[in-house]
Structure 1
C-alpha cells in the first residue's frame, strides 16, 4: 500500500539512471531501517539532469561534472526534495553555501575495471586499439600505460556503455567496480585494476547525501546512517581536489584508505596525453584528513608548476 503524502517523512531526489536509482533505494532502505519506518514513507523523486540530457559531447565542453547534480540541487534549494543522493565522484568540489554533504554510506570497492571482448588487460590490447571512456582521468592513465592506444569519448549509463563495447564501438572501456556491483553486473568485468596500478577518481565508490545546512530535521534524520570512515576518506580526497581543480578539466586521481586512527592517502595529477604525471602520498591521523589532503595538493602544485594547469585546463 502506498503511503499518502501526509505519511511521507522525507523525499529523496536522484537521477533516473538504473545505477542512480539503485543508490537512492539503498539510502531509503538504510534510513527506513535506522528509524524503524516503512520504506514507503520515504519518497524517491527522479530528476533529469543536464548531464543525462547532453550525450553527444564531453562534459568538459558543456560545464563539467556539476551537470549531473545541477537540477537536483535546484530542487533541494526550492524545497521540492529534502535530500539528494549522489555518487560522490559526481559532486562538484564547491557546493552552494546553503547545502552540504551531510552523510556518507559505507564505501563500496573504489577500484576501476577493464572491460573488453578482445583482450584480458590493457597490456594485452593490440597496438592502435580504441579505448572508449568519457573520463579524462581514465583516458590519461590509459595513455600513460599504453601511448600507442587510441582513446575516444563514449557516454551513457553503465548499461549503454556495456552495449557500445559489445557492439564494437570501441575495443575496451573502463568502469567503476562499485557501479557494476550495485547493478549486479560485476561479472562483466574482464579485469579489476589495483588501486596502485590505476588510481581511482576522488570519491569513487562512495554514495553521499546532500541536504540544506539549516534543515535540522533532515540533517539529524540522515546522520543515523552516516559512515565515519567513509566521511574521513572523502574529506581528505575532496580537500585534495579543492586545491587543484574544482571541475573536471585536469585528470586527477585520489584515494584515501582509513585503518583505525590512521589514514593513507595517494594523489595524482596527469596530463591528458599521459606523458607528464606527478604523484604523492600522505599518512597521518584521521583527525588531520582535510589538512593532509590539502598538503598533498600543494606539493603537486609546487612540483608541477602553474604552467601545468594552464596548459592542461586546470584551476
Structure 2
C-alpha cells in the first residue's frame, strides 16, 4: 500500500493496548524499524454502541455484536483495512464481505479472581457480592458457591477495579489475558482453574477481521498462529450450535498436546444448578476439521440440555 495500514479498534485502554501490539507486529512485517511503526500502520479508535451503554447486560441491548458492528461497517465501506477484536466478543456469524483473516498466538485463557479481602474464590464469606456481567462466569461461580450474590458489573478494566476498591463488591472476575496485556497481572489474586472455569469461546485470543480482498495480504497472513486459529475454530463451532450469545452460559476451550486438540464444551443454567459438559479429541489440520469437532461436541451438549438451552 502507498499509505499506512488503517487498523480499527475500540477506544478502551485494553483495546488500544491489544491493537497496539497488532499494529507493531504488522509494521514490523512491513519492514518498520523501532520507532517507525506509525509510518506503516496506524490505529483508528472508534466508540462502539457496547461502549456507550454501560448500565445494562449485553443480552438486554443486542448482544456481543454491539462491540463489533461499527468497526465492521468501517471495514465494509473501506475506511479501515483491518479491525482488531477480542475474540470472545465476535459473534458466530460474519457479516458479508468480511472474514476472520488472522488469529495471533493466544494469551492465558483463564479467568482472574480479584478480591477486596479474600484472595481466593473459596475464601469469600457467605453471601459475598461478586461483580460480573458474564452469564457464564455467574453460572460457574454459583455452581461452586450457590450462596454468593452476583451483581451486574460492566465497564472497562479500570472502572471495574475502582468499584471493587470502593467497596461496591467483595470480588470481581476479569480475564487474565486482559490484565496481562495491560501490565496489571500483579493485581490478580487467583487464576481460576480451567476445570472449574472453562472460558468463553475464544477467550484470550484476538480476532483480526478484514475484507475478503485484503485477507490474503502477506502482512496479514503473517500474523496468524495456526494452533490458536484451529483451537478457536473448534470453540466457535461449539458456540454456533449452542447459540453462544450473552443469553446463554456457554464455555468452550481447546488444548493442544502435540498434534492432538482436546476440546471441552459446557453449558450451564444461569443459577449454576445444571451443568452439561462434553470433551473429545481430534487431530485437525485445517479450520474445517477443527470446526467439525466443535459442531459435533456442541450438538452432543445441545441434545442433552434439550429445551432448557436458552432461558
Normalising to structure 2: TM-score of the pair?
A: 0.95
Deviations 1:137-196 (A, max 9, x none): 001111111111100101111111011100111110111000000001001111111111
Alpha carbon RMSD of aligned pairs, Å?
1.3
Contact 1:12 1:42 in 2 (8 A): yes
Contact 1:203 1:234 in 2 (8 A): yes
Residues in 2 aligned to 1:67 and 1:220: alpha-carbon distance in whole angstroms: 30
Residues in 2 aligned to 1:48 and 1:234: alpha-carbon distance in whole angstroms: 26
- Residue 3 of structure 1 is matched in structure 2 by none
Structure 1: give runs of 5+ residues left out of the alignment: 1-5
Residues in 2 aligned to 1:223 and 1:258: alpha-carbon distance in whole angstroms: 22
Runs (4+) of structure 1 exceeding 2 A deviation are 6-9, 214-217
Establish whether residue 293 from structure 1 lines up as the match of residue 294 from structure 2: yes
Contact 1:258 1:286 in 2 (8 A): no
- Residue 121 of structure 2 is matched in structure 1 by 122
Contact 1:94 1:246 in 2 (8 A): no
Establish whether residue 17 from structure 1 lines up as the match of residue 16 from structure 2: no
Displacement of 1:246 in angstroms is 4.5
Residues in 1 aligned to 2:301 and 2:192: alpha-carbon distance in whole angstroms: 24
Residues in 2 aligned to 1:131 and 1:35: alpha-carbon distance in whole angstroms: 45
SS at match of 2:290: helix
Q: 1:195-206, aligned counterparts within 5 Å?
A: 195-206=194-205
The total of aligned residue pairs comes to 304
Residues in 2 aligned to 1:97 and 1:297: alpha-carbon distance in whole angstroms: 25
Residues in 1 aligned to 2:160 and 2:151: alpha-carbon distance in whole angstroms: 12
Contact 1:112 1:177 in 2 (8 A): yes
Establish whether residue 166 from structure 1 lines up as the match of residue 150 from structure 2: no
Normalising to structure 1: TM-score of the pair?
A: 0.94
- Residue 226 of structure 1 is matched in structure 2 by 224
